[in-house]
Structure formats: structure tokens, C-alpha cells
Amino acid sequence: MKHAMWILWPSFLVGVVAEGVFFSMVDPTDLHLFGQPLELSRSAVYTLGFFLFWAFAAASSALTCWLQHGINGSESSDA
Amino acid sequence: MRHPASGLPPAPAGVSPGGSDSEASLYEVRQKIYPRAVHGWFARWRIALVLATQLIFYGLPWLVWNARPAVLFDLGARKFYVFGWVLWPQDFIFLTGLLVVSALSLFLFTAVAGRLFCGYACPQTVYTEIFMWIERMVEGDRMQRMRLDRGPANAVRLSRKALKHGLWIGIALWTGLTFVGYFTPIRTLLGEVASATLGPWETFWILFYSFATYGNAGWMREQVCKYMCPYARFQSAMFDRDTLIITYDAQRGEPRGSRSRSADRARLGVGDCVDCGICVQVCPTGIDIRKGLQYECIGCAACIDGCDQVMDKMGYARGLIRYSTLNAVAAKWDVRRMWRRVLRTRTLIYGALLLAITCVLLGALYLRTPLKVDVIRDRAMLARETRDGMIENVYRLQIMNTSERDRRFTITATPESGRAGLQVMAAQPVAVAGAHTASVAVAVRADPANLKPGTYTIRFHVEDADDPALKVDEKSRFYMR
Ligand code: SF4
Ligand code: SF4
């Protein structure tokens, strides 16, 4: 549970920042997917974009958590 | 967490970090902490700030300005309305400036008085405060709540709980609606809710935000501050021995011990702390401030109010727990001396920076020309010859009227280096409605008799036909063949 918070929350913050920076520079209607213009409303793209950013950041946090876990584990077994 | 500047031993957390018992307590969050209601000077301040911030948050979307919402982040049209200003993606710099100002304010406040933000203005604190207030209204104060939770699951308990959660969910939903009301005009939104025609994305965000509010303020509470908040962790970098923090005056309070009101402290050999535990009971994060500064302390000052009441009852001087600095407590400085140190180089630098950036930002916002022009050359064709022997280049001009008035613009063009006149072929003047963009195809012609073949830098001048003071120059290139 605590791990879930440690993964979801920082990635949420990073997701918010990424969303803000990205979409203040890029207009969703200019985006293309596999050469096709996206046929979605702007709010749809904003929402999906946000969750995409969040998901990627969460994946990174999860990896960090997982790697750190291994290190702490080996340290405590050495001691 | 260590406080490098504090010189205090890193105080152990109230809850052992990690380990299965704290893990379990996350599932049954309210298991231990039943904050007791507290009254006093700081509690009144907190209530005032809760009211103020919430009045702003819930009220702003309803304000009307120029027959439109005063504050509206219209993501669909990529325009932000903030009172008299209409901000476009090109004004991103102002948003950045605003973030810098917020960060600096946070540094300043933290250096001066620790976690002021946490205790009084953080949405997490504010909503927790509101939710706890409801809890108190429905379930009673600390003892009654504990008894209710320990008692049998009878009709009284179930109805109380149902009422509490009902009220919580109601507030959470209204909060979610208000949040989305910053992005969609709130009156439209309410109309859509009433007629059940709310769009899928709006529905989703209202529910998402409501759920977050309900979960964080109703269930997670102090866990958010303890485990999730990055600010709680890096604040120690902004603290030093002259930062005002909530401190327990151990020299005065110890050795603690209970005694009767009339007992002679000197004869008993006890300090001023009567070990009543009020300071622990009122603490929303459930820590004992008498163990020294701990990272869980959100600086809400509830323990100050609580202890002052006890001191009053005992007939002792107030301020056994008070806002003070580590230096001041250690050296027993008076308030004047302490405040002189609070205004130290660090805070003065933060303060000066903050003032400077705020002024620049406001100045820039005030002087901002409500007109922006982008020139895009037609890439398909460099230059062509017209029937009457002139050379013509074609451009597209994006004229953004960022004011809210309808305006008419005239377009002229001149080569950078004096000489020959350029002829601008476009339907003039160009009318652009308030807060709108016009895209105009413009052909520019030059007489080959006046201009040798080559590339020339030219300037477009876009000028308000009714207000010549409002004009913008934009560079582009002109090909002559
Ligand atoms: S409230 Fe004051 S007197 Fe009571 S235990 Fe806390 S510090 Fe001691
Ligand atoms: S120790 Fe005092 S100031 Fe800190 S969180 Fe607890 S009640 Fe608030």
C-alpha cells in the first residue's frame, strides 16, 4: 500500500507537470498518430495524454522502487 | 529525517516507518488518530484561512467579467481568461513566472516560519479540516468517536456513519464540479448536470477529483503528509536554527509530571509540563511535539492552543509550546531578539528576489501588447511574376487579437534596408473579433525595376486602424528573381 502511494503519487505530480508543459506548446489538433490526424476532441486528448504521462512516470517510479528494494534487501542480509 | 541545521537528534517517528504494523495501519487509517477539537488563537486563524481559501476556490468560477466567467481555463479553445486578461499558449512565460513566484514564496515562508503553508493553506489540510468538522458534528468529539467506533454496529452507528459519508461525498462532488468549473463555465456545467447531458470527459474529471478529495480528506489524511508529500521531505533544506517552528520548551517543561493545581512546583521539583497529553491528543498527525521537531509535524499549531489552555487552567504562563526558533529556545532570547534573527540574509534575499520577479511579471502583464502576429511564408512557391510584370511573394499572417475588443487591422510591408516600396495585396482592414485569431493570405509585390534579384528581409507592420499606438512588426523574407 505504501509502495503504491510512493509510485502513484510522485508520478502523478510529474504527470501534471509533463501535461502542462507538453500541451502548452503542442496543440492536440496538430497531433498525428501513424500518419493519421487524431480524430478526438481536445478534451479527450488532454485526458488521455495526462494518463499516458502518469502511466509512464509510474512505470519509472515502480522500477526505481523495485531496484531499490533489491539493494536494501542485500544490505540487510549482509549486515 | 535529519535536520542538519537543527542540531537536534533526528527524532523517531510516531509510527515506526516500514514494518507490517504501519502497513496495516494504512488500511485502517483512522485506527489511532482521533484528533481532539481545539480552540484558541491559532485555531481561529486556521478557520479563517479555511474559509478564505474555500471562498476563493468555490466562488471564483461563479464570478462574471465582460459577460464571461472571470476565471476560465478554456482548454478546448486553448485560451485562459483571468479577469481582464486573455492568455494564449504564447503567454506560457507568464505561467512559468507564476510558478517561480509560488516556489520563491514557499522558500521564503518556510525559511521564516517553517510549514506555514501546510498548517493553514494546503488543500490537504483545508479539506481534512472541513471533513473533520463534519465528522465532529455528526459523531461528536474524540471520546464519543472512539466509543462509537468500538461499540456495536447498531442502527445508531450505521446511521451516523452513513450521514457522515453522505455529507463527505456531497462536498467531494461539489468540489469536483467546482474544479471542472475552472475549465468549463460552471453555469453551463450545472445545466448539463441538471439535464443529464454532461460530456464523458467532464463526468470523468468531476468523479476523479471528487474521489481524490473524498479519499484524501476522509481516509488518508495525515498519511498524505507523512508518506506522499515531497515538500515535507525537502523542507529541512530550507530550515535553519533561526526558522520559526513549533517548539516545546523542554528547559521550562521538564521534568514533566502531574500535580494538583495548588502544588508548589519548586518543592516537587517538576517543570511546567503537567503531562496531560493534550498536545498529543489534538495533533492531527498523532505525534508528541515534546520529542522535538519531527518531519510529520505540519505546523498546524493545534498543540500550542491545546497547551495554552492547560497553562491557563494551571495558572502558569502560556507558551510552553510556542512558535520559536532553535537559537531562541537554546539561548532564551526574548521575542525582539528572535525576530531580528528571523530577518536574516537568507530571508532578505528570498524576499528581494520575490519582490523583483513579482514586479517584473506584473509590469510585463500590464505592458503586454494585446496583439500578436505570426508570418508564415508560402513554402510551395518562392516568387512569381504577375501579369503586369511585378514580382509577387505569398504569405499567411496569423493575427491574434488577445484583447477582448473587436479590432480592425491594417497591414503594410517595407524592406529592411529602405528604398523600394512594397505593395501589400490583401482585403484591408482585417477585422478580428475580441480574443480571436484571423488567418489572412497576403501577397506582397515589388517592382523589379527597383529591386535587384536576391533575398531581402522585409518587415510586416500590423497596426490597429482605430488605435495607431497598437502595432506589431514581424520579420520575413522576400525573394526577388
Ligand atoms: S499539553 Fe502542555 S502540559 Fe499537557 S502534556 Fe502537552 S506540553 Fe505538557
Ligand atoms: S505537533 Fe503540533 S503543530 Fe505539529 S502537527 Fe502536531 S499539533 Fe500540529
- The structure's pTM equals 0.73
CA B54, B58, B59, B60 torsion: positive or negative? positive
| Nearest residue, CB atoms, A1 vs list B27, B199, B205 | B27
Mean pLDDT of B15-27: 38
Please report the pLDDT score of residue B413 as a whole number.
87
Element (H, E) at B99: helix B92-113
DSSP per residue over B178-207, as a string?
A: HHHTTTS-HHHHHHHHHTT---HHHHHHHH
Residue B131 DSSP class? H
Angle CA B43–B44–B48, to nearest 5: 115
Dist CA B322 CA B336 (whole Å): 15
Pairing of strands B64-65, B245-248: unpaired
Which residue type occupies B223?
Answer: Q
In this structure, which residue's CA is closest to atom 5 in ligand 2?
B297
C-beta atoms of B227 and A2 within 8 A: yes
Whether ipTM > 0.85 holds is no
Dist CA B244 CA B328 (whole Å): 9
B226 is written with which cell numbers?
507523512
For residue A69, the tally of other CB atoms under 10 A from its CB is 11
CA B34, B35, B38, B44 torsion: positive or negative? negative
Ligand 2 centroid, distance to B319 Cα (angstroms):
14
The answer to which of B232-236, B283-287, B355-359 has the lowest mean pLDDT is B232-236
For chains A and B, count residue pairs whose Cβ atoms are closer than 8 Å.
Answer: 41
In this structure, which residue's CA is closest to atom 8 in ligand 2?
B300
**B92 interaction partners in chain A (CB closer than 8 Å):** 24-25
B21 is written with which cell numbers?
504494523
Dihedral of the CA atoms A59, A62, A68, A69 (nearest 10)?
-150
Is residue B1 over pLDDT 50?
A: no
Determine the 3-state secondary structure of B271 from DSSP: coil
Dist CA A26 CA B419 (whole Å): 40
Mean pLDDT of B369-375: 85
Angle, helices B155-180/B41-59, rounded to nearest 10 degrees: 50
Is residue B401 over pLDDT 80?
A: yes
Dist CA A46 CA A48 (whole Å): 6
Measure in Å the smallest separation between the Cα of A14 and chain B Cα atoms. Answer: 12
Which residues neighbour B269 within 8 Å (Cβ) at sequence distance 6 or greater?
Answer: B255
* pLDDT tens for each residue of A17-69: 888 888 877 777 777 777 777 777 777 888 888 999 999 999 998 888 888 87
Dist CA B80 CA B68 (whole Å): 12
Fold of B371-480: Immunoglobulin-like (2.60.40)
Mean pLDDT of B342-360: 87
Q: Are B36 and B144 in contact (CB under 8 A)?
A: no
Residue B278, ligand 1, Cβ within 6 A: yes
What letters, b where the CB count within 10 A reaches 16 and e where it falls short, cover A12-44? bebbeebbbeebbeeebeeeeeeeeeeebebbe
Q: Per-domain residue ranges for chain B? A: 1-30, 41-235, 371-480
Residue B290, ligand 1, Cβ within 6 A: yes
The answer to which of B23-27, B256-260, B265-269, B297-301 has the lowest mean pLDDT is B23-27
Average pLDDT, chain B: 81
B92 is written with which cell numbers?
506560457
Is residue B23 over pLDDT 50?
A: no
Q: How confident is the model at residue B418 (pLDDT cuts 50, 70, 90)?
A: low
Please report the pLDDT score of residue B313 as a whole number.
85
Q: Choose the mutation target among B92, B228, B229, B376 for the interface with A, i.e. most A CBs under 10 Å.
A: B228
Q: Which atom of ligand 2 is nearest to the CA of B298?
A: 5
**B199 interaction partners in chain A (CB closer than 8 Å):** 43
Please report the pLDDT score of residue A71 as a whole number.
63
C-beta atoms of A43 and B89 within 8 A: no
Please report the pLDDT score of residue B31 as a whole number.
46
- Residue spans of beta strands (DSSP E) within B214-352: 245-248, 321-324
Measure in Å the smallest separation between the Cα of A29 and chain B Cα atoms. Answer: 10
Please report the pLDDT score of residue B8 as a whole number.
38
Distance of CA B286 to CAs B36, B38, B235, B279, Å?
A: 10, 14, 20, 9
Which residues neighbour B141 within 8 Å (Cβ) at sequence distance 6 or greater?
Answer: B36, B37
First to last CA, chain A: 27
Q: Which atom of ligand 2 is nearest to the CA of B246?
A: 3
Mean pLDDT of B316-332: 83
Is residue B246 over pLDDT 80?
A: yes
